[in-house]
Chain A
């Protein structure tokens, strides 16, 4: 998107772009993170400013290292930001918990951690709620309700961080990070700081208790500041029948609900932007206005529990709290305008209907029978499709029912309708290797299935390496397949230590994973997924070896990356209708499942979708009747 063409004082920005812009305006020196939806655009937005505004921008190898780097900059007196998705915060948490204990030192540095949650799990294996982790790790937490507010909160977060000598967390979420609206731009500034370090931030075990006490005192001072924050607001009548208490996405949903039910004369909205420490006194003042409260938030009942605590502390009886714990708002999934409207309508006994019953009936009769689910699938020409094809064939030929552990990336699409469903376990980044290392020890108990772990290149560097070391040193028995497509593809083709480029697209030292794995003591094989027959043989051979840690690198650039660079189809693929066996076979569309190959229902044979076929030519090798034909294209 070419936003640079217009240089007005306002710009249409994605939530993540606004967060990044705010950090630049706040004078950031150092930004780091690991890609993960819905957070990835924050760092991408800062990249063009790296040179002209002198900002260090890096894609770190994982979120913990990203936070450590950002904290180092803050110790030295600079302003830093680390950005990640919710799952990444868990990776960084060990460090962040200790960081709260030490604070940022005496050099007036500041650090903000932006975490982007994914309620509903649009692009995540879970919808965990990061707000608890802020409380857990003694870090102040801000949560914006809109993109303009997010921009202001980033600015304030840096000021708070510098004033209170601790990192500050800001929680975003899919409906903020991936929403966009018009945003006012201010000047990008930066203070010249001469970095210096001192010994004020060290910690040793016997100091844990006094440091903890000091951290609690600091949080009390921050709580007092939050009690007066103008980012926490009340709007509505003085004595409402009900108050909707909300934070984050819940606020604009609450406004929709009040409009939908036309209850602005009887319902108030209490919006919280400072979630930890919880501004109990300020909330209590507003709780005095009414006896009925609906809590509109996602995902967990975080505000709800803190409101209940506030009520208990105040010694009130007879106040009714409606929310997730009373089943008025579903306990999982996103908050939506309809969810708030439905709850409010039940509480107030005001009629509300999201649509017309007659229209719903027509939809059920006329639309529902026609709608087919659209499961996710690998892109046309994706090397992962070829790798999983080879894995399936080799495992079948091996006849010992090899057990596959999976990982996080585009290859996760194996378990969606377009895939092969070979992966049995899918957990955290790098867990495929750790789980395989464990399973590979179970031979002594009679476990006979060969164990194969699958991970991508970026995941390999992020989380698989310690598990592989563990497997080697403890003499586990497994194959680690690394699907090396030369990019962090799922999140937008970010570089990683194996690509030879950095966040700015400049050449960087390239870490060769085969050299690294050999140094660890793994036996390493490199194969090309597009050479299907040879890949099947290689995998079969590795399965047969049945001892030690074998690493198989399936190396082939992501077709999207290749097409972007080359804009060229190496082969023209066509179907020979004479040779195609039609409905008797259908292996290409029913088993290989490349979206570039479709079935012509009328004629009864396969056909190529020229508009999306990338010309990889792999389907010619999987057709048992040589009916799919590749014709080399001259460059």
Chain B
């Protein structure tokens, strides 16, 4: 990748059911269409039942990489939940990492039971910002609910990724792939979600 690291390592993370797999495949297809060799690793099965989930994308101009990103080697982390961003930063982060995170929290079981307290969102944001080169915080769930369905939270975050210019993906390419992937009845809603997400980071100053 010209001006991009070789290989480029992207992490897409969140909580089971938030749709990380869908957007990582959309990103994979967009980059593949541009001629990059993309390898995606995913966790599913039991992990989907409310657990932490993540997809790893390894993008190369040279060869097929294995799906596992070596420790400390993520270039971008795209997170559908703020604590999950931090969890991935612990293993894959580095001072140069760029992080985009949804601001809506999802309480883990231990928080629901009252065993532990979820730290305030401000604490999480400040840790993420401090431990990354750039961080963008996106109220993706709020935007999705505003559009009528929490289910498009992941597409809002995909739009935010495109707007941040941290990867070689244009809005047009993302729109085309959303059109090719999403069932017809949902395309308009998803395109709107994509554009709303795109506007949140386009030209925005990162934290």
Chain A positions near chain B (C-beta within 8 angstroms): 1-2, 5-6, 12, 37-38, 122-123, 146, 148, 174-175, 178-182, 249, 251-253, 255-256, 260, 334, 336-338, 341, 354-356, 359, 362-363, 366-379, 410, 412-413, 416-418, 490-491, 586, 589-591, 593, 595, 597-599, 601, 611-612
B71's partner among A148, A354, A418 (CB-CB below 8 A) is A354
A122's partner among B29, B47, B87 (CB-CB below 8 A) is B47
Give the residues in chain B near A255, CB-CB below 8 Å: 63, 65-66
Q: Please, what's the 1-or-0 string for B171-207, where 1 marks a CB less than 8 Å from any CB in chain A?
A: 0000000001111000000000000000000000000
A362's partner among B38, B72, B131 (CB-CB below 8 A) is B131
Given A175-B66, A413-B49, check contact A368 B114 (CB 8 Å).
no
Q: Please, what's the 1-or-0 string for B137-149, where 1 marks a CB less than 8 Å from any CB in chain A?
A: 0000100010000
Residue B124 at the chain A interface, CB threshold 8 Å: yes
Contact A12 B112 (CB under 8 A): no
Given A2-B183, A377-B109, A491-B45, check contact A256 B65 (CB 8 Å).
yes
Give the residues in chain B near A371, CB-CB below 8 Å: 83, 86-87, 90
Give the residues in chain B near A373, CB-CB below 8 Å: 108, 110
Question: A145's closest neighbor in chain B, by CB?
Answer: B66
Contact A175 B113 (CB under 8 A): no
Given A179-B67, A253-B68, check contact A593 B112 (CB 8 Å).
yes
B67's partner among A5, A175, A370, A378 (CB-CB below 8 A) is A175
A179's partner among B42, B108, B113, B180 (CB-CB below 8 A) is B42
| A182–B119 alpha-carbon span in the complex (Å) | 41
Contact B119 A370 (CB under 8 A): yes
Question: A377's closest neighbor in chain B, by CB?
Answer: B50
Question: B85's closest neighbor in chain A, by CB?
Answer: A367
Chain B positions near chain A (C-beta within 8 angstroms): 15, 17, 22, 25, 28-29, 32, 37-47, 49-52, 63-73, 83-84, 86-87, 89-90, 93-95, 107-114, 116-119, 123-124, 127, 130-131, 141, 145, 150, 180-183
Give the residues in chain A near B111, CB-CB below 8 Å: 372, 599
Contact A418 B109 (CB under 8 A): yes
Contact B86 A180 (CB under 8 A): no
B66's partner among A252, A372, A412 (CB-CB below 8 A) is A252
| A378–B116 alpha-carbon span in the complex (Å) | 19
17 more CB-based (< 8 A) A-B contacts, given A356-B94, A374-B15, A374-B52: A175-B68, A178-B42, A181-B64, A337-B68, A337-B70, A354-B73, A355-B72, A371-B87, A372-B108, A376-B50, A377-B109, A378-B49, A378-B50, A379-B49, A417-B110, A491-B45, A598-B112
Contact B64 A586 (CB under 8 A): no
| A589–B112 alpha-carbon span in the complex (Å) | 5
Contact B70 A341 (CB under 8 A): yes
State how many angstroms separate the Cβ of B110 from the closest Cβ of chain A: 6
Contact B108 A260 (CB under 8 A): no
Give the residues in chain B near A179, CB-CB below 8 Å: 39-42, 66-67
Give the residues in chain A near B95, CB-CB below 8 Å: 356, 359
Contact A249 B66 (CB under 8 A): yes
Most buried by A among B66, B72, B145: B66
Contact A338 B71 (CB under 8 A): yes
A180's partner among B40, B69, B127, B145 (CB-CB below 8 A) is B40
Contact A256 B70 (CB under 8 A): yes
5 A–B contacts from the bound complex (CB under 8 Å): A1-B181, A179-B41, A359-B93, A367-B127, A589-B112
Question: A250's closest neighbor in chain B, by CB?
Answer: B66
A6's partner among B22, B38, B64, B180 (CB-CB below 8 A) is B180
Give the residues in chain B near A253, CB-CB below 8 Å: 66, 68
Give the residues in chain B near A586, CB-CB below 8 Å: 114
State how many angstroms separate the Cβ of B10 from the closest Cβ of chain A: 14
Contact B38 A182 (CB under 8 A): yes
Most buried by A among B44, B117, B141: B44
Give the residues in chain B near A417, CB-CB below 8 Å: 108-110, 113
| A628–B110 alpha-carbon span in the complex (Å) | 22
Give the residues in chain B near A379, CB-CB below 8 Å: 17, 49-50
Give the residues in chain B near A376, CB-CB below 8 Å: 46-47, 49-51, 109
Question: B32's closest neighbor in chain A, by CB?
Answer: A182
Contact B66 A589 (CB under 8 A): no
Given A337-B66, A417-B113, check contact A355 B90 (CB 8 Å).
no
Give the residues in chain B near A366, CB-CB below 8 Å: 127, 130-131
Contact B83 A370 (CB under 8 A): yes
Give the residues in chain A near B49, CB-CB below 8 Å: 376-379, 410, 413, 490
Give the residues in chain A near B47, CB-CB below 8 Å: 122-123, 376
Q: Which 4 A-B pairs have the closest CB atoms?
A: A252-B66, A355-B72, A123-B45, A37-B45
Give the residues in chain A near B51, CB-CB below 8 Å: 374-376
Question: A342's closest neighbor in chain B, by CB?
Answer: B71
Given A253-B68, A374-B15, A374-B50, check contact A38 B45 (CB 8 Å).
yes
Most buried by A among B22, B71, B112, B113: B112
Question: A378's closest neighbor in chain B, by CB?
Answer: B49
Given A359-B93, A417-B109, A490-B46, check contact A180 B72 (CB 8 Å).
no
State how many angstroms separate the Cβ of A603 from the closest Cβ of chain B: 14
Contact A363 B93 (CB under 8 A): yes
Contact B65 A611 (CB under 8 A): no
State how many angstroms separate the Cβ of B141 from the closest Cβ of chain A: 7
Question: A8's closest neighbor in chain B, by CB?
Answer: B33
Give the residues in chain B near A598, CB-CB below 8 Å: 107, 112
Give the residues in chain B near A252, CB-CB below 8 Å: 64-67
Given A252-B64, A336-B68, check contact A370 B45 (CB 8 Å).
no
